[in-house]
Chain A
């Protein structure tokens, strides 16, 4: 019934690119529904990492030897690939970080310390991941700035009617997620950026859940910062990126000091490189950056429009089928949603459900998903989340429903 009409992509063939999908868990074929936590890695990325360490490994930007040149070239090419992937005007607008969390902390520290004053407001939303909340709490504490929050409607969308009263001239930054990691809500980024700019505020987009799933063009979206992680989009862990609009990055002081980010150093003081290297003290995650570029290349071969169509179809299909189960409450919008679905069941606590499912090889996630305020907003201590990527299938979702149905009978 739910045929995925698309794009001519052979999704079953794509599964073969992911060696781990052949694993068994507790004696059952693995069904991996936790890609919102971290995605699996295709062989192309694994091979790239191996090739780098076997043929190019050296430190970047400082050796005068052949291998260092190879490593530097590969590292900086990766920066360009990331820039192209998100439509940045220049590779200089891309800072490599450990991931979304570090990207946001970089902005909160380097930009925040310089531009945020007592009484300024940082506007967030109630659906932010802790990584886009705690750094701002820390900044507010250091500077005396205040935090405000856009509320979330019962259907999981942002309550945009609140915006006019919240988005006042005291707001210096509006930081919000592109796709909610608990609800699957896709926020109207371009519209939110436009409204923020109208009062002179900058914008930061948490693209952790979107960067690997749908096309992103920072210039079209009009955002000033955008943060994402490599490991949620087929890349290695420990690598991610911060996009910052050129003139804004250039106006920011360094945050970490050390080698690689300086032009000259005396015992008393230092002169710093320009962005992005100013923000990359110490030996960077060279292999990670190169692995991320390989992940981008892999994703681009499939195409993000096709991936988005596939993933959001899976999420809608799952949401629909889940409601067949008794005592089921599904969170998030029904119309348009990202590649995940969060739910609670009357009969079993999320942790019992997750433990039960795991025994059948089904990897779900149970808990608050680093969204404690949002869980409170919906009156639950946690949810069970099934999150998808392009290597998942409707057959796997059908199997999930069978397993959850067995859980209902077991626990009730």
Chain B
């Protein structure tokens, strides 16, 4: 097995792709975002609930796609629960650096998300890893109702 493959598909990632956490729909979601990665066919449906202070109270997803996109969504939902908007945006930025920047040191604040580091060796897979994050970014921007987001600008 090549080291790049071992790093990309760490056991944690395979585990999350096989048994995604927070998989489902929030019936009383404030905002729902449908995200897709048309180049790959990956899809994600994200539902988000905010608390009184505007932090992410709860977040769930459904969808289908490659192991990277599904594991990334699963890990993200675990990480973002209870986070403020500012913290979410900060983490999004840090995560994007993690999966794209070869010199990135993988800051400890990212916690479990650091297992996604191997994506940086596979530029074609960055969109898979970012799909869920683009959806949550859209959810924050939208605040309420339904929205769509795509990794391919139209």
Is the Cβ of B40 less than 8 Å from the Cβ of A351? yes
B2 to chain A, nearest CB (A): 4
Query: Once the chains are docked, how many angstroms separate the CA of A360 from the CA of B14?
Result: 20
- State A355–B122 Cα separation when bound (angstroms): 8
Interface residue ranges of A370-384 to B (CB < 8 Å)? 375, 381-382
Closest CB of chain B to A377's CB: distance in Å?
A: 14
Q: List residues 307-366 of chain A with CB under 8 A from any CB of chain B.
A: 348-352, 355-356, 359-360
Which residues of B3-35 have CB atoms within 8 Å of chain A's CB atoms? 4-5, 8-9, 14
Q: Kindly identify which residue among A26, A351, A360 contacts B128, using a CB–CB cutoff of 8 Å.
A: A351
Across the interface, name the chain A residue whose C-beta is closest to B4: A359
Given that A355-B122, A410-B9, A411-B14 are contacting pairs, would A382 and B67 also be in contact in the complex, using a CB cutoff of 8 Å?
Answer: no
**Does A368 sit within 8 A of B, measured CB to CB?**
yes
Please indicate which of the listed interface residues B2, B66, B124, B128 has the most CB atoms of chain A within 10 Å of its own CB.
B66
**Interchain CB contact under 8 A, B68 and A352:** yes
Question: Bound state CA distance, A395 and B65, in angstroms?
Answer: 31
Q: SS class of chain B's interface: helix, strand, loop or mixed?
A: mixed
CB contact under 8 A between A381 and B9, given known A351-B40, A375-B41? no
A367 interface residue per 8 A CB criterion: yes
Question: Contact at A351–B66, with CB atoms within 8 Å?
Answer: yes
List residues of chain A with CB within 8 A of the CB of B97: none
Q: Is the beta-carbon distance between B5 and A351 smaller than 8 angstroms?
A: no
Q: Contact at A359–B125, with CB atoms within 8 Å?
A: no
Contact B64 A356 (CB under 8 A): no
Question: Which residues on A are within 8 Å of B, measured CB to CB?
Answer: 26-27, 348-352, 355-356, 359-360, 367-368, 375, 381-382, 410-411
CB-CB under 8 A from B43, the residues of chain A are 381
User: Which residues does chain A contribute within 8 Å of B122, judged by CB atoms?
Assistant: 355
A352 touches B66 (CB 8 A): yes
CA distance A381 to B67 in the complex (A): 14
A367 touches B41 (CB 8 A): yes
Beyond A367-B40, A410-B9, A411-B14, is A348–B67 a contact (Cβ under 8 Å)? yes
Contacts of A368 in B (CB 8 A): 41
Instruction: Tell which of A26, A27, A356, A382 touches B41, judged by Cβ atoms closer than 8 Å.
Output: A382
A-B contact number at CB 8 A: 47
Which of A348, A350, A355, A367 contacts B125, CB < 8 Å?
A355
Q: How far is the CA of A344 from the CA of B3 in the complex (A)?
A: 25
On chain B, the residues within 8 Å of A355 by CB distance are 5, 8, 122, 124-125
Bound state CA distance, A375 and B39, in angstroms?
Answer: 13
Is A381 in contact with B64, judged by CB distance below 8 angstroms?
A: yes
| A382 to B43 Cα, complex, angstroms | 12
CB 8 Å contact bits of B113-154 with A (1 = contact, 0 = none): 000000000101100100000000000000000000000000
Q: How far is the CB of B105 from chain A (nearest CB, A)?
A: 25
Question: What separation, in Å, do the CA atoms of A352 and B119 have in the docked complex?
Answer: 12
- Determine if B86 is an interface residue (Cβ-Cβ < 8 Å): no
Decide if A410 touches B1 in the complex (CB within 8 Å).
yes
Asked if B42 is at the interface of the complex by the 8 Å CB criterion, the answer is yes
Which residue in chain B gives the minimum CB-CB distance to A412? B18
Q: Which residues of B contact A351 (CB under 8 A)?
A: 40, 66, 68, 125, 128
Nearest CB in chain A: distance from B73 CB, A:
14
Contact yes or no, A352 B9, CB < 8 A: yes
Q: Could you pull out 27 A-B pairs where Cβ atoms are within 8 angstroms?
A: A26-B2, A348-B67, A349-B65, A349-B66, A351-B40, A351-B68, A351-B125, A352-B9, A352-B66, A352-B67, A352-B68, A355-B5, A355-B124, A356-B9, A359-B2, A359-B4, A360-B2, A367-B39, A368-B41, A381-B40, A381-B41, A381-B43, A381-B64, A381-B65, A382-B40, A410-B5, A411-B9
Alpha-carbon separation in the docked complex, A355 to B6 (Å): 12
Interface centre among B1, B42, B67 (most CB of A within 10 A): B67
Q: How far is the CA of A122 from the CA of B4 in the complex (A)?
A: 49
CA distance A110 to B39 in the complex (A): 31
4 further A-B pairs in the complex, CB-CB below 8 A; given A26-B2, A351-B125, A381-B64: A27-B2, A352-B66, A367-B41, A381-B65
Nearest-neighbour CB distance to chain A for B67, whole angstroms, equals 5
Q: A349-B67, A355-B8, A410-B9 are in contact. Are A381 and B42 (CB under 8 A)?
A: yes
**B10 vs chain A, min Cβ distance (A):** 12
A285 to chain B, nearest CB (A): 28
Q: Does A411 lie within 8 Å of B41, measured CB to CB?
A: no
Once the chains are docked, how many angstroms separate the CA of A375 from the CA of B43? 15
Q: Which residue of A lies closest to B41 (CB)?
A: A381
Cβ-closest chain A residue relative to B42: A381
Tell me the nearest residue of chain A to B1, going by C-beta. Answer: A410
Known: A352-B9, A356-B5, A359-B4. A411 touches B67 (CB 8 A): yes
Complex Cα distance, B79 from A189, in Å, reads 56
- In contact, A359 and B5 (Cβ under 8 angstroms): yes
Least CB separation from A382: chain B residue: B41
How far, in angstroms, from A275 to B39 measured CA to CA in the complex? 38
